[in-house]
Amino acid sequence: MNPDSNPTWQLLPALLATTAAPDATFDQATAGLLRQLVDHSAALAAGTVRQTGRDWTVTNWAGPVRSQPVPEAVVAEAVDRGQVQRQSEWTVIPLAAAAATAADRTLLTRLPQALLLQSSPAQSSATAMDSASSLTQWGQAAAELLTDLGPLLLRLGDYRQRCGRLEAMLDCAAQWHQEDDPEALLHAIANAATQLLQSERASIFLWDRARKKLVGKPALGVGNQPLEVDDSAGVVGAVLQSGQPRRWQASEDEEAEINRAVDRKLQFVTRSLLAVPLQDQAGKPAGVFEVINKKQGAFSHEDIDTLTRLASQAAGVIRNTQDRHTAIRSRDRLIADVADTVQIIGESENIAALRKTVQRVAATDLSLLILGENGTGKEVLARSVHFQSPRRSEPFVAVNCAALVESLLESELFGHEKGAFTDAHQARPGKFELAHGGTLFLDEIGDMSLGGQAKLLRVLEEKIIVRVGGSTPIPVDVRVVAATNQPLAGMVREKTFREDLYFRLNVVSLQLPPLRERGDDILLLAEHFLSEFAQQIGRLPAKLSKHAVSAMRRHAWSGNIRELRNLMERVSYLCPGDTIQVQDLSFSADPRTPTGSDLTPQSALTLGLSEATRRYQVQAIEQAIASCQGNMTDAAARLGLHRSNLYRKLKQLGMDAS
């Protein structure tokens, strides 16, 4: 036969062309084939039919809108006999099941059972015979194509649909991994399920084992109403208990399985439902994932497969997000706890002003230079800046520059590679790398050698380090806070500190006052230390008696807070009662100042006669008051003074007379 007049050859290209479209379905391919049939043959219209219950339903139709009913008897006879049947303008060609189809019962139920051709009614009998035979030829060609290719096209459609769903699932899973908020994640998962399974709602029930409840987290379309059901009730309960997926369809399945009370509460009617188990890492039940009301038809086997895969992805992501959230919460709690321990204590004017400045600069990445005598709290201040800054969850690394000899400085700060020098048995990151993302505290910067200063400056400018013995540039993001008790500006003038580094570090400078200039902050700090040590010892913090408070105020404190801290540590451990008395406070002498017994004629040469005399008097009075347990009359008597003269003397010496 000439291929041009062979109906199969004429119909096939159109059928293949339709199939080539990436989202073509079996129905679309059939529609294309029927259109070709109508265009090329004598058929006015063509359609496919299959039996649903007792009726014959048209599954596809090409040509003018049908005005007559399907000739059901003729169709039934053609299908029953497996032979072409004709009646008036109808020709019915049965579609045999291909061998491949017969093996797959689910395909059989989806394929049409007969091809229906309608021709024009009025024709001479001779013409009618010719045209009927030609029509049958065309029809049989189309029927063969549908029989042979139909199952393949259906399967192709299924595979495409499955690929589409898997792709969509991968996309969803990738998005879920970005989601940090557990509630938002559950919403995103439920949304994905409604879309992928063309359903009206989806809910994820997490199992509250202790309360024997299934808690529906995002119940879409339900607002924020909590949805809780007993863990053994209804379809979801059965899925949790059995670990097996379940489908439920109104009118086909037991009505009693559905909890209509939930429907009423949510003003919703469940028509169909599919639920699959959610499992934890160990494969134990963790909840149930359900979708409700398939928009068209019933939930299929493919839907079970899709929801099961979705549930397994979801379980993993939910677990990870919950773990991450728990970890973040405990990290934040720990950071908050540590941050609490590094408050800048004090209400004196200069400390209050300093606290305000810290609040302002903490949010920035500006370099800070903290100046202050030894033990004035420079490191505490640096830590406080760190914990108030956005870098608080990253490391705070402190380096004592005075302890770094020139030969070690580079490897300490920038790290080294294995074998970089004799003792470099392992590669080691330096302090800059360790502080990445956080704060690097360079204490005693004034003691850094000039060579070290040059290397430090380069890294601060370039924000890149290279480990000793290495060649790979490593970018570092570090906020630098430097501190010194040295007169850095003077050192710049004397050329013992690099001017360019000084300006690089000193974008903002903070000056910490010495303890002796902090007035009643001494008492606040003392209270702070007393409660810190009380906590360590496991008892209530001791209180300073009125006389002890006076003695603390009177004492000529050095600048170093450690003196106060050590004293409070000593009394916390040694003071027997709840109240600290004057005699419990034996102040240690400021090593830089000659003590009473040290005061010699030489002292007057260093301090000046008037200051040496003042200090001698202060100490003599302090000792007398302490030895008389704060009794001023007795103390005055011991000093050979009248009580009122003692008060006058206190005032004159700038001591606290209260």
Ligand X SMILES: Nc1ncnc2c1ncn2[C@@H]1O[C@H](COP(=O)(O)OP(=O)(O)OP(=O)(O)O)[C@@H](O)[C@H]1O
Sign of CA dihedral 223, 224, 229, 231: positive
Question: Least distance in Å: CB of 393 to ligand X?
Answer: 22
Apex 587 CA angle, 583 and 593, nearest 5: 145
- Binding to ligand X, residues 317-376 (CB under 6 A): 344-345, 372, 374-376
At position 285, the amino acid (one-letter code) is P
Q: Which of residues 564-583 bind ligand X (CB under 6 A)?
A: 565
CB-wise, 253 or 447, nearer to ligand X? 447
Smallest gap from Cβ 485 to ligand X, in A, equals 5
Contact status, residue 427 vs residue 471, Cβ threshold 8 Å: no
Tokens of 389: 């800054």
CB of 657 to ligand X, least distance (A): 28
Residue closer to ligand X (CB basis): 483 or 612? 483
438 and 397 Cβ atoms separated by less than 8 Å: yes
Q: Which of 286, 480, 561, 650 binds ligand X (CB under 6 A)?
A: 561
Check if the beta carbon of residue 94 is closer than 8 Å to that of residue 113. Answer: yes
Q: Can you tell me which of 177, 562, 614, 649 binds ligand X, judged by CB under 6 A? A: 562
For residue 215, the minimal CB distance to ligand X (Å) is 45
Of the two residues 317 and 442, which places its CB atom closer to ligand X in the complex? Answer: 442
Establish if 559 lies at the interface with ligand X (CB under 6 A).
no
Query: For residues 481-500, which are near ligand X according to CB under 6 A?
Result: 485
Phi (first) and psi of residue 225, to 5 degrees: -65, 135
Q: Cβ distance 506 to 492 under 8 Å?
A: no
Span near ligand X by CB under 6 A; candidates 205-213, 324-332, 377-385, 597-605: 377-385
Pick the closest to residue 248 from 197, 209, 302, 291 (CA basis): 291
Q: For residues 290 and 308, is the Cβ–Cβ distance under 8 A?
A: no
- Residue 249 per-residue DSSP state: E
Q: Which string of DSSP letters, residue by residue, matches 48-70?
A: EEEEETTEEEEEEEESSPP-S--
Distance of closest approach, residue 382 Cβ to ligand X, in angstroms: 8
What is the closest distance, in whole angstroms, from the C-beta atom of residue 531 to ligand X in the complex? Answer: 11
Torsion of Cα atoms, 292 then 298 then 304 then 309, to 10°: -60
**Contact characters 448-487, ligand X, x per CB under 6 A:** -------------------------------------x--
Cβ 487 to ligand X, closest distance in Å? Answer: 14
Is 515 a residue that touches ligand X (CB under 6 A)? no
Tokens of 45: 């219209």
Under the binding rule (CB under 6 A), the answer on residue 536 touching ligand X is no
DSSP 563-593: HHHHHHHHHHHH--SSEE-GGG--PPPPTTS
The pair of structure tokens assigned to 540 is: 């209530």
b/e 49-73 (16+ beta carbons within 10 angstroms → b): bbeeeeebeebbbbbeeeeeebbee
For residue 579, the cross-strand partners are 543
H/E run at residue 595? none
**Rounded to whole angstroms, how far apart are CA atoms 175 and 233?**
33
Residue 216 backbone phi and psi in degrees, to 5:
-75, 110
Q: Does residue 443 touch ligand X according to CB under 6 A?
A: yes
- ∠ CA 40-41-43, nearest 5°, is 125
Q: Based on CB atoms, which residue is closest to ligand X, 273 or 571?
A: 571
Using DSSP's 3-state secondary structure scheme, residue 90 falls into strand
14, 152, 238, 380: residue in contact with ligand X (rule CB under 6 A): 380
If the CB atoms of residues 280 and 527 are measured against ligand X, the closer one turns out to be 527
Interface mask (CB under 6 A) for ligand X, residues 579-618, using x and -? ----------------------------------------
Q: What residue ranges in 251-382 does DSSP mark as E strands?
A: 272-279, 285-294, 368-371
- Is 71 a binder of ligand X (CB under 6 A)? no
Nearer to ligand X by Cβ, of 250 and 344: the residue is: 344
Residue nearest to ligand X (CB): 377
Stretch that binds ligand X, among 193-201, 305-313, 330-338, 560-568 (CB under 6 A): 560-568
Minimal distance, residue 515 CB to ligand X, in Å: 9
Pick the binder of ligand X from 139, 377, 559, 594 (CB under 6 A): 377
Residue 630 within binding range of ligand X, rule CB under 6 A: no
Window 201-230: residues binding ligand X (CB under 6 A): none
Cβ–Cβ < 8 Å for 427, 416: yes
How many Cβ atoms sit within 10 Å of the Cβ of residue 129? 11
**Residue 87 or 374 having the CB closest to ligand X:** 374
Q: What is the nearest approach in angstroms of ligand X to the Cβ of residue 527?
A: 11
Nearer Cβ to ligand X (46/369): 369
Cβ nearer to ligand X, comparing 339 with 344: 344
Nearest CB to ligand X, comparing residues 427 and 491: 491
Measured from the CB atom, is 19 or 485 closer to ligand X? 485
Q: Are 90 and 74 in contact (CB under 8 A)?
A: yes
Instruction: Decide if 150 contacts 26 (C-beta within 8 A).
Output: yes
250 dihedral zone (left: phi>0; alpha: psi -120 to 50; beta): beta
Specify the DSSP class assigned to residue 511. E
In the complex, what is the shortest distance from the CB of residue 602 to ligand X, in angstroms, rounded to a whole number?
28
Least spacing, CB of residue 445 vs ligand X, in Å: 11
Q: Provide the minimum distance between the beta carbon of 435 and ligand X in the complex, in angstroms, as a whole number.
A: 17
Query: At closest approach, how far in Å is the CB of 434 from ligand X?
Result: 20
Q: Which two tokens stand for residue 307?
A: 């929801």
Residue 513 is a binding residue for ligand X (CB under 6 A): no
Residue keyed to tokens 């000439």: 2
Name which of 343 and 407 has its Cβ closer to ligand X. 343
Q: Which is nearer to ligand X, 192 or 345 (CB)?
A: 345
Q: Which stretch binds ligand X (CB under 6 A): 140-148, 187-195, 558-566, 571-579?
A: 558-566
- Residue 340 CB, shortest distance to ligand X, in Å, is 11
CB 469 within 8 A of CB 421: yes
Please, which residue, 231 or 379, has the CB nearer to ligand X?
A: 379
Q: How many residues sit close enough to ligand X to count as binding (CB under 6 A)?
A: 16
Q: Which is nearer to ligand X, 143 or 399 (CB)?
A: 399
How many CB atoms neighbour CB 225 within 10 A? 10
Distance CA 221, CA 139 (A): 50
Which residue lies nearer to ligand X by CB, 374 or 586?
Answer: 374
Q: Greatest CA separation found in the chain?
A: 155
Smallest gap from residue 484 Cβ to ligand X (A): 8
Question: Residues in the site for ligand X, rule: CB under 6 A?
Answer: 344-345, 372, 374-380, 443, 485, 528, 561-562, 565
